[in-house]
Amino acid sequence: FGTGTQKLEEELGKIFPQARVIRMDQDSTSRKMAHDRIIASFSRGEYDILLGTQMVAKGHDIKNVTAVGIISADSALNLPDFRSAERTFSLLTQAAGRAGRGDKAGQVVIQTYNPEHYAIMASSSHNYEVFYRQEIEARKSLQYPPFSELLKLTVYSSDENQARSQAEQIVRQLGKELQHDRQTEIIGPFAAPIAKINNSYRVNILIKSKELTNIKSQIVALKLNSRSDVLLDIEPLNIL
């Protein structure tokens, strides 16, 4: 667990010593068109097992694939993001859909530490309605989209303490301006799950509201939209 596709390739070699394995991950696809060449070789039957990261899950229609194994299906589920269950269901459903696309029946094996989770259970049976009913109730109880609108502010700095102090100042300013807005909640500041990118520390502030018009006005009034150390993301696809 957690040792990557190279380690998994070694394990497959022990279990299936006669199998021809090809790996598709960031290392093996660094060259131009490498991704297409790997898929083409596998489609022609030059390899028995295609091993890879999430990039193997989407969009491939290979008729002779009869089995799909999904390792560590909980990886996306454990991300600190309100869309983590949705992403898990989507990814697992897409990966499982690679098996049995031709005349032969397909089999899917999912390895998970949370087999009772509704996203795992619904994806194993391709049951979108079951997933939707439970997910929408969770979103409603916590007032996440589609029951609210979100705005994410990310404060950047090469100095970790500076990023934190600037984010705290922004929260104080917004909190003062929005103190009478009962429909708005300011969450944070908190270190981004990916806390440092390209030598810049990242601190997030999440604003959740029934309607963002007032918040947008306050952000313009405070000139946060023109600051080079602040990134604004309206209705963010993720909060990482």
The model's pLDDT over 119-152, given as tens digits with 9 standing for 90+, comes to 999 988 889 999 999 999 999 999 999 999 999 9
Q: Under a CB-based contact definition with an 8 Å cutoff, are residues 77 and 111 in contact?
A: no
Interacting residues of 191 by C-beta distance below 8 A, sequence separation 6+:
164, 201, 202, 203, 204
Tens of pLDDT, residue by residue over 155-193, are 999 999 999 999 999 999 999 888 888 889 999 999 998
**pLDDT value for 181:** 82
pTM of the model: 0.78
Q: Provide, for the chain, the percentages of residues in helix, strand and coil under a 3-state DSSP scheme, each rounded to the nearest 5.
A: 40, 20, 40
**pLDDT value for 3:** 58
CA distances from 119 to 50, 83, 122, 176 (A): 25, 11, 5, 39
> What average pLDDT is seen over the chain?
87
Q: Under a CB-based contact definition with an 8 Å cutoff, are residues 46 and 20 in contact?
A: yes
